[in-house]
Structure 1
Amino acid sequence: MTKYRPASALEGRIASGWSLVISAALTAAIFAADTIFIISPALSVLYILPLLILGNSGARALVAHFAAICIGLAITAFVLGLPLSFGPMALPNLAIGIIAISVTARQLIRSERLQRQLAADERRYRGVFNSMAVAIWECDLRPIETAVSDLQARGVRNIRQHLAHHSDLVGDLRRRVLITDVNDTALRMIGVPDKQAFLRQLDDFLVDSDEAFISCITAISEQQPLFQTQTRVRTAKGEELDVLMAFGLEGSSPLERVVVSLFNMTEQNRLARLIAENKEQLARAQQSAALGQMSASIAHEIEQPLTAIQTSLDAATRWLRRDPIAVGEVNASIQTGLHATQRAMDVIRRIRALIIGNTETESSALEIDALVEEATTLIETDIINSGTRVVHVLNARTVLHADRILLQQVVVNLVRNAVQAMAQTPPDERRILIETMVVEDVVRLKITDCGPGWPPEILAEAFAAFRSTKPGGMGIGLSVCRTIIEAHGGSISLRDAETGGATVEIMLPASQPAANAASLSSDLRMQIRKNVASAR
């Protein structure tokens, strides 16, 4: 279309020239008739004819000048005709003619300004239309409007259902809808060089099923203010693109120039599919990591029970070698080993449940002070061998509803960590302070050692799985401890102690005061001490 613009401009100039000639000739004829023949003073009204001819041509800029000439000629003719044309209606008729010429000229000038404004708006619209990053089609949807009106006139109420059973009608409407204009983005998206090659039937580009087009027809029949759908279009190279198509429908707007926006969703959909695949792979990787964490956690947590089993069996072997055999001591050592075996089995079962996501605990009423003493006794071998002194300041005297095995394991882990943290501390300074108290219905358990404290780079990630401060450590203990405490509705925090060393604080919701604090069997405590002594 661009290559024809010079010819159109030349034709416009020729038309303007002819309009000027015709207007001038007509003006001269009117003046002659008004002066020579003196037909009527009202003849001056005819001067609006050359003005209208100029106004409807490309010579609108001359209207004001021509109007002034016509008024001058009307007055001249009136003066030259005196006194023959003078009468009671002469001046009123002259005034009417001048007013008619002025009003006509004013309206033509206003029309010319409106035409210029309209042309400027059209150029602005075309500029925005072609520069938008979103592909835009102008479609003539009047065939759909006509078809919908025919169906409604025939009594069809459910347009969607009717179209679903008449695919031939849907296909015919697709072929009848024309694309009347497109912007440059649409040309690039479809891969068409110019508009002439693009302006075809809508059916030439749609590759999707009729469902999207049926939804479009239904939206028009229901006069929906906004319609959008996802569909597929075919490029000039035969490629298929995923697009989001949208257009607005206003009740009074004609359907001959409906602006349809198309947003290319092909890359977004590809990335969405890639993200979904990566999520699935990540889920599988997390499952593998969970299995690895479960295995490492179980290995970490059963180390102490296995050590107790080994110690008990070594002690039983030594008692068997005595002469005479200490049958009672052998039996006690075996019972201790069986107790440690059962504990190892309980730990495996509970840790496995936590790692696979089953954080439900086996709650029972237990006294927190007694639980701390019992847990400390279970790791007494490590405490004695390291030369560490444990100080208990247990003032909670409160019953918790919690999982005994899991909470014991938390205390065991934390005390063992404290013992290992003081490996470089002088033996006479190795001390662990374990405190319990109740503050505003919250049980607070603090374990403080005299080691080097928490390294700053470790403190922020201490609870992460497989993160350890000890050479050869698996980094499982604190991660499992936090899981257990949170499963009981509590919290665990780490900080450096004011007097040096590290502090771990656990806070758990209290249940009710204990009437009689339960304590660990003194026989079992004594038997563990004997086993340690015998193993030496």
Structure 2
Amino acid sequence: MARFAPLAAAVIAVAVFILDTLTTFDIAIAVLYVVVVLLALNFAGKIELVAIGAGCMGLTLLSFLLSHGHQLPADSIGRCLVSLAAIGITTFLAFRVKAAIGILADSEQRYRSIFLATGVGILQMDFTGLKNAFDRYKSNNVQRIDDIERREPGFARSALKMFKLTNANNTALNMFNAPNVGALELLLPSLVSEDMEGKVWKLLASLWAGNQSYEAEAVLKMSDGRQLIFLYNVAVPFDRPALDMVLISIMDVTARREAENELHAARSQLAHVARVATLGELTVSIAHELNQPLAAVVTNGGAGLRWLKREVPDLTKVQSSMESMVADATRASDVIKHLRGLSVKSPPDPDNVDLNEVAEETITLLQREIDINQVSLRVDLAEDLPKVVGDRVQLQQVVLNLLLNAIQAMAHVPESRRELLVRSSREESAVLFSVHDTGPGIPPEISSNLFDPFYTTKPDGMGMGLSICRSILTVHGGGISASSEPGAGTTFEFTIPFNREIG
């Protein structure tokens, strides 16, 4: 229609000019020039539009002069002025409309350029079919999406068929190796495997609740066999409650997740090295800890033999000696087991962990260090402390580092003032564990760097202990902090939530 608009405008302008010049009707025929101005919206720019409006006004004046000459009747002048006003007002309004159309066209062009060229895949979907299904359920007094899941487990798969793809940008097409939007629409349902239906139900729950955004990750198996991890965001414009336009942005985060896994593996390796290095520092204490039960085994064994060699063997004493031997051997075995757990490299093994037990085992391991350094130990562990979910070895490494740091911090403090307090307590939703020493404290200027990798105040330190502690606690959903007053000691405390599920 726009192609014929210039011709139609010219024909109408000529016809109006002829009628206005040659007829004597008592009507403002020139008002019909407004049709010419309106048709010009289809083919003229803003400047051309003003020129056409001015031309129509000029034709109106020319027609008036040709048809009336020097005679200027009042009614004809009135009709001419009405025509000129109508043409002028229409031209002004058409100019404003043209400007608004230009702004809208620029905005649409910018949106389309961003839509097509952005590095994030974008799918434009129509969820009207899903909205209609929701409305039917709600009209039947269905209150929650859980009720639908219980009654119709297959609804999630059916809902995927209600999603209509209306557009997709180049990035999305390239992500899925689709030549066009139609091919991608056919491909999408096959990418959602049965084990992903749980995520589909969560998306449906978000849409059911009227949320305007939903974000999650999904692992999709591509047609060529690759498994890719995608982060997707479903956005519903607030002015489209009918869900007739839903934008889904998709980002391939496979490489990022692989890099994070490699980083996590490197951190685990570093934590293992740090544990072995710490155990190396405790060689004497470990040997002493093992020597005590082994020496007791020898002593009780000798006593048992003596009771057996008597003319009348005292079997009760022999039994008591053997029971002591078993107890001492078990104690030595436990020490070796704990040491082996700390030294052996193994993947994280989440379990329900009693931090009080971890603290007691670690204190036993460090008892010789505590005695040699003449540290006065006070233990205040809360009763009925909730268990936390985590890796026992990693948490023992945290406690071991904090206790060892506290003992070493008091090396230059007078013996009478060396006090170590180990405390656990229950917070609102977390377990709080703290270690307090009476060392010189931490200077304020270095407190902000305590947990930085490779930062240490020890001449022979690696600077990784506290950094590793923070990393371990972050993975466990907790955190660690330090507080200190110069000359009054330092307190390290960490928290771990106890309401987390084993992942």
Q: Write the deviation string for residues 322-352 of structure 1: whole angstroms up to 9, x where unpaired.
A: xxxxxxxxxxxxxxxxxxxxxxx9xx97x95
Could you say which residue in structure 1 is the equivalent of 2:238?
Answer: 251
Q: More deviation in 74-83 or 103-112? A: 74-83
Is 1:103 the counterpart of 2:102? The answer is no
Aligned CA distance change for structure 1 residues 51 and 194 (closer, same or farther; 3 Å): same
Aligned 8 A contact 1:175 1:202 in 2: no
Q: Secondary structure at the match of 2:65?
A: helix
Residue 190 of structure 1, CA deviation: 1.4
Separation of aligned partners in 2, 1:18 and 1:444 = 94
Aligned CA distance change for structure 1 residues 212 and 438 (closer, same or farther; 3 Å): closer
Aligned 8 A contact 1:223 1:250 in 2: no
Aligned CA distance change for structure 1 residues 166 and 272 (closer, same or farther; 3 Å): farther
Q: Which amino acid aligns with 2:459?
A: A
Alignment of 1:130-145 (within 5 A): 130-145=116-131
- Percent sequence identity is 20
Is 1:40 the counterpart of 2:40? The answer is no
Structure-2-length-normalised TM-score = 0.55
Q: Secondary structure at the match of 2:58?
A: helix
Q: Which amino acid aligns with 1:226?
A: S
Aligned 8 A contact 1:16 1:59 in 2: no
Could you say which residue in structure 2 is the equivalent of 1:233?
Answer: 220
Could you say which residue in structure 1 is the equivalent of 2:66?
Answer: 80
- Pick from 166, 184, 197 the counterpart of residue 198 of structure 1: 184
Could you say which residue in structure 2 is the equivalent of 1:113?
Answer: 99
Q: Secondary structure at the match of 1:231?
A: strand
Residue 192 of structure 1, CA deviation: 2.6
Aligned 8 A contact 1:160 1:215 in 2: no
Residue 49 of structure 1, CA deviation: 1.1
Could you say which residue in structure 2 is the equivalent of 1:180?
Answer: 166
Separation of aligned partners in 2, 1:441 and 1:300 = 23
Is 1:122 the counterpart of 2:108? The answer is yes
Is 1:217 the counterpart of 2:217? The answer is no
Structure 1 unaligned residues grouped into runs of 5+: 1-14, 304-344, 365-370, 376-398, 404-413, 415-433, 446-457, 465-506, 509-536
Aligned 8 A contact 2:219 2:228 in 1: yes
Separation of aligned partners in 2, 1:262 and 1:251 = 20
Q: Secondary structure at the match of 2:230?
A: strand
Aligned 8 A contact 1:54 1:60 in 2: no
- Pick from 137, 141, 146 the counterpart of residue 160 of structure 1: 146
Residue 211 of structure 1, CA deviation: 2.3
Aligned 8 A contact 2:149 2:155 in 1: yes
Residue 46 of structure 1, CA deviation: 0.9
Aligned CA distance change for structure 1 residues 285 and 25 (closer, same or farther; 3 Å): same
Q: Write the deviation string for residues 74-117 of structure 1: whole angstroms up to 9, x where unpaired.
A: 12222233279965443333222212212222222222222222
Is 1:460 the counterpart of 2:459? The answer is yes
Residue 173 of structure 1, CA deviation: 2.6
Could you say which residue in structure 1 is the equivalent of 2:485?
Answer: none
Aligned 8 A contact 2:46 2:99 in 1: no
Structure 2 unaligned residues grouped into runs of 5+: 292-327, 343-358, 380-407, 421-436, 440-456, 464-488, 491-503
Q: Secondary structure at the match of 1:209?
A: helix
Q: Which amino acid aligns with 2:202?
A: S
Residue 284 of structure 1, CA deviation: 7.2
Q: Which amino acid aligns with 1:144?
A: L
Alignment of 1:465-480 (within 5 A): none
Could you say which residue in structure 1 is the equivalent of 2:5?
Answer: 19
Separation of aligned partners in 1, 2:461 and 2:268 = 28
Q: Write the deviation string for residues 395-414 of structure 1: whole angstroms up to 9, x where unpaired.
A: xxxx96799xxxxxxxxxx9
Q: Which amino acid aligns with 1:262?
A: I
Q: Secondary structure at the match of 1:38?
A: coil
Q: Secondary structure at the match of 1:243?
A: strand
Aligned CA distance change for structure 1 residues 17 and 156 (closer, same or farther; 3 Å): closer
Separation of aligned partners in 2, 1:160 and 1:65 = 65
Q: Write the deviation string for residues 225-281 of structure 1: whole angstroms up to 9, x where unpaired.
A: 321122233435353322122122343235333221112233344445556666777
Aligned CA distance change for structure 1 residues 68 and 462 (closer, same or farther; 3 Å): closer
Q: Which amino acid aligns with 1:251?
A: F
Q: Secondary structure at the match of 2:224?
A: coil
Q: Which amino acid aligns with 2:91?
A: A
Q: Secondary structure at the match of 1:267?
A: helix
Aligned CA distance change for structure 1 residues 352 and 293 (closer, same or farther; 3 Å): farther
Aligned 8 A contact 1:142 1:256 in 2: yes
Aligned 8 A contact 2:17 2:63 in 1: yes
Could you say which residue in structure 2 is the equivalent of 1:487?
Answer: none
Separation of aligned partners in 2, 1:21 and 1:236 = 54
Q: Secondary structure at the match of 2:68?
A: coil
Q: Secondary structure at the match of 1:103?
A: helix
Separation of aligned partners in 2, 1:113 and 1:187 = 35
Separation of aligned partners in 2, 1:444 and 1:156 = 63
Aligned CA distance change for structure 1 residues 109 and 196 (closer, same or farther; 3 Å): farther
Q: Write the deviation string for residues 474-524 of structure 1: whole angstroms up to 9, x where unpaired.
A: xxxxxxxxxxxxxxxxxxxxxxxxxxxxxxxxx99xxxxxxxxxxxxxxxx
- Pick from 49, 52, 66 the counterpart of residue 63 of structure 1: 49
Separation of aligned partners in 2, 1:78 and 1:444 = 107
Q: Which has the larger radius of gyration?
A: 1
Q: Which amino acid aligns with 2:133?
A: A
- Pick from 234, 247, 255 the counterpart of residue 267 of structure 1: 255
Q: Which amino acid aligns with 1:257?
A: M
Could you say which residue in structure 2 is the equivalent of 1:328?
Answer: none
RMSD: 5.1
Alignment of 1:507-518 (within 5 A): none
Separation of aligned partners in 2, 1:163 and 1:441 = 59
Residue 169 of structure 1, CA deviation: 3.6
